[in-house]
Every structure is written in structure tokens, then in C-alpha cells.
Amino acid sequence: MTDSIWQGADVDLDAYLSRVGYEAEVAPDLGTLRGLHAAHVEAIAFENIDAVLGRAVPLDLDSVQEKIVRRGRGGLCLEQVVLMAAVLDRIGFTFSAFAARSRIRTGNKLGPAVHIALCVTLDDERWLFDVSFGGYGLHEPIRLAEGARLDGDWPFDVVREPHGEYVLRFLRAEGPAELYGFTTDARYPADFEVLNHYCLTHPRSPFNHRVILQRTQPKVRHVLIGNTLTEIRPGEPATFRELDDDEALSAPGKIFGITLDHKDHYGRDAR
């Protein structure tokens, strides 16, 4: 690990590994990369509760560690990328960040590129490392190359469109779902601040007006948008259920493993 923009020297690696339940030795190799990815997505949910409550969402590493590692919260994509980049930097991985345009719910290929993921280089191969896309996202890294495929309970592939953009697809039972399109043009922490401002303040941002919670686990994935809970299981069509208000308010802890205290609660009793 060297002094870098990703702040690996300042991350509390032991606390992070404890938070995600990772007990093996760490090294800048594929085994560690796969193990950390799986551990992170199983332990740390995507959540936008602070944005819905109208709070600032600081992206400095100290704030992100305090929220996600020490307080047991989840985080937005950008918060999780800041944390994960510091961890990978501390271990000694070589990587860059890139921006992606989500397609999963709208099918819009020209929306704002506000999702951030990492491209890790190992032995002259590139790997797409993305821990923060939530219930529809990767459980482990996938090779970043045209035609790459990740098989198993949760299959994915990477295709490349004629204009050169890569697309990550979730190969669900009812047919492929395009998750997002991207190029690998590098993005930096200064870019994260601009994207964060959009996510928190823009009237067309999907993240600042209704709760979105997502969690990836080995045998089930959950997505909550407003009061609609989506449950996804390997090889089966997704199911949908409308939660009542009490169920929705208890969902962060009961379904998504998010630790909230009294000031973090939202909904009819939020102040």
C-alpha cells in the first residue's frame, strides 16, 4: 500500500474485516478479492435513509467508517466505494474507479452516470468489483471483458455494445436484465462529490424522496422501494409484496441488517 488518493493508510482494516465477518488472511490476490466482495455485500446493505431525511452525506473516510463500520449502518453507492477503495488500497490492490448508468428499472440507456464501481487489475486481467449495486448486483467479481460470464446461483455476464460501452447483465430466470452500462474512463474522489450532490439534491434523483434498501445474500436478495418489497431467489422469478407501514418501518433491521438509532428513523414518526 502506498500513499494515494484512496486513503488506504487511514482505514481501520481490522474493524472493517470484523464488520463484514472476514476472517481469512488478506493479500492482493484473486482469492482475497472474491472473499472480500462476498463478505461485504452479505454484511452491508445499500440504503439511502440519510438522503430521505434531508441530511448531508459526507464522503470523507472518517465519516464513512463511523457510519458503516462502527455504527452498523449501510450506505449509498458512493459511501461504500470510498470505504472499499480504502480497504483495497491498504491491502495493496491496483484499481481505478469508473461511472455507470443504471438501466435496471427504467431501461434508459442515457440516464446520468451516478453509480460508481471499481476496476481491479490482477496479473494483467481486469475485474469488475462492485459491492454497492444492491439486490440485483454481483456477489463476487466478474472479469471485465466482452463475453465474460459468472455462473452459479446468481449468473451474470458482460456484453459490449457496438458503440463500445460495456453492459453488466443479471441472467435471471425470466431473461437477462441489463443492470448498467459503462466505460472504464477513470473517476476520482473529486468526481464523487459532484455525483453525491446530484444524488442528494436533484429533483430527478431517485435517492432523495423515497427509501431504497437493497441487500445481497447467498440464497435470497431483497429490494425495498417505498413500501414495495422485492424478493429474488436463484432461478426463480422475482416476487413482490406491499408492506404495511409498520412492516416497512421495521424492515431496515429485520430484513436488511441495518442498525438504526432513534434519530435515524423515518416515516410517520420521523421528526
Q: What is the average per-residue pLDDT within 254-262?
A: 90
At residue 269, does pLDDT exceed 50? no
Give yes or no for a contact between 5 and 188, defined as CB atoms under 8 angstroms apart.
Answer: yes
C-alpha cell at 208: 432523495
For the chain, give the mean pLDDT.
Answer: 92
Kindly tell me the sign of the dihedral angle through the C-alpha atoms of 4, 7, 9, 15.
negative
Q: Where residue 227 falls among pLDDT bands split at 50, 70, 90?
A: very high
pTM to 2 decimals?
0.93
The string of pLDDT tens digits covering residues 32-89 is: 999 999 999 999 999 999 999 999 999 999 999 999 999 999 999 999 999 999 999 9
| Predicted pLDDT at 261 | 86
At residue 205, does pLDDT exceed 60? yes
State what percent of residues in the chain have pLDDT above 70: 96
| Predicted pLDDT at 264 | 76
Q: What is the average per-residue pLDDT within 91-106?
A: 91
| Predicted pLDDT at 112 | 82
Q: Where residue 267 falls among pLDDT bands split at 50, 70, 90?
A: low
At residue 1, does pLDDT exceed 70? no
At residue 105, does pLDDT exceed 90? no
Q: CB under 8 Å to 257, separation ≥6 — which residues?
A: 43, 45, 74, 215
Count the neighbouring beta carbons within 10 Å of the beta carbon of residue 190.
8
Question: How long, in residues, is the chain?
Answer: 271
C-alpha cell at 60: 470523507
| Predicted pLDDT at 78 | 97
At residue 122, does pLDDT exceed 90? yes
Record: fold of 8-264 = Arylamine N-acetyltransferase fold (3.30.2140)
At residue 245, does pLDDT exceed 70? yes
Q: What is the average per-residue pLDDT within 245-270?
A: 82
Q: Where residue 104 falls among pLDDT bands split at 50, 70, 90?
A: confident
The three-state secondary structure class of 245 is helix
At residue 134, does pLDDT exceed 90? no
| Predicted pLDDT at 271 | 34
Give yes or no for a contact between 34 and 139, defined as CB atoms under 8 angstroms apart.
Answer: no
Of the candidates 196, 268, 262, the one whose C-alpha atom is nearest the C-alpha of residue 48 is 196
Helix, strand, coil: what percent of the chain each, to 5? Answer: 30, 25, 45
Exposed e or buried b for every residue in 238-247, given b needs 16+ CB within 10 A? beeeebeeee
Q: Where residue 270 falls among pLDDT bands split at 50, 70, 90?
A: very low
Instruction: Give residue limits of the domains in the chain.
Output: 8-264
d(CA 123, CA 72): 35
Give yes or no for a contact between 205 and 198, defined as CB atoms under 8 angstroms apart.
Answer: yes
Give yes or no for a contact between 34 and 141, defined as CB atoms under 8 angstroms apart.
Answer: yes
